[in-house]
Amino acid sequence: MSGRWGLIVLPRTIGDFDHSLLEMVKEHPKGNNIGKCWQCGNCTAACPVAEKNPAFNPRYFIYAAKMGYEQEVKKMKDSIYLCTSCGRCTEVCPKGVDPSGVMEAIGTMIRKGRG
């Protein structure tokens, strides 16, 4: 038998899901299409800010908010405001999501002390 014996693999559980984050984004006028995102990544690929700054990832921001990963949403607070509202992401989104609008909604949520 191959592999290492006695290696303890600690359980990795994400226990801070908060599905109310998704509901809050959906309630924002520009965030209501977040549920349609299918994570194709077109928005990140087209984003000039993401090209220069890998920490800025619209596809991942949307994913974290959708899943209710509160810890991940908290990590966005310094980078989410880098969006210049150029609109390229919205142009290339095949699902009509308006990624910059979703980020605006996430930013509003963070300012209100959520996420």
Q: Which residues bind ligand SF4 (CB under 6 A)?
A: 37-43, 46-47, 49, 58-59, 62, 83-89, 92-95, 97, 99-100
User: Which helix (H) or strand (E) covers residue 28, if one does?
Assistant: none
Nearer of residues 16 and 87 to ligand SF4, judged by Cβ: 87
Nearer of residues 17 and 87 to ligand SF4, judged by Cβ: 87
Q: Is the dihedral of CA 75, 80, 111, 20 positive or negative?
A: negative
| Least distance between ligand SF4 and beta carbon 45 (Å) | 8
Instruction: Give CA–CA dist 8/74, Å, rounded.
Output: 30
Q: In Å, what is the CA distance from 99 to each residue of 5, 6, 58, 72, 78?
A: 47, 46, 7, 17, 17
Nearer of residues 89 and 106 to ligand SF4, judged by Cβ: 89
| Least distance between ligand SF4 and beta carbon 32 (Å) | 13
